[in-house]
Amino acid sequence: MNQTRPVWSTPWLWISIAAVLLIGLAVSFWPSTTPLSDDGYDLTMALYNACNRRSEVAIEQLQDQVETKASAGQLSTDATSALRSVIDDAKAGRWQPAMVRCRELMDDQIKH
């Protein structure tokens, strides 16, 4: 006697769906690099220095520079977002995470 099962009851279909979902999650959470222009790299170095000195005045000045260069199209959207995130951390007194993010941004520029 040959009985057919509904397609949704086959184990291989569920395994395939789970595999596709896992691959999708892995790709979406995979760390990505943020490419920086020369201006973006220079700003990142200056932000690192300002965070190391815990200089709120320097952070304010660098924020102005980031906004000026972003509006002039000299920074990519991703770079602008990353630098703003560093500035937000620094302004909130989270100096160490801001420095770590600067270091990550600079390390991202190394070509392997």
**pLDDT tens digits for 4-32?**
666 566 777 778 888 888 887 776 666 56
Give dist(CA 63, CA 58) in Å, integer.
8
What residue ranges in the chain does DSSP mark as E strands? none
Could you tell me the two tokens for 89?
């951390």
For residue 24, being part of any structural domain is answered with no
Where is pLDDT greater, at 44 or 109?
Answer: 44
For residue 17, being part of any structural domain is answered with no
For residue 46, being part of any structural domain is answered with yes
* Count of structural domains, the chain: 1
pLDDT band at 96 (very low <50, low <70, confident <90, very high): very high
For residue 20, being part of any structural domain is answered with no
For residue 26, being part of any structural domain is answered with no
For residue 93, being part of any structural domain is answered with yes
Give pLDDT, residue 67. 97
Domain that holds residue 79: 38-107
- By CB neighbour count within 10 A (0-12 exposed, 13-18 middle, 19+ buried), where does 62 fall? buried
Give pLDDT, residue 112. 46
For residue 2, being part of any structural domain is answered with no
pTM over 0.85: no
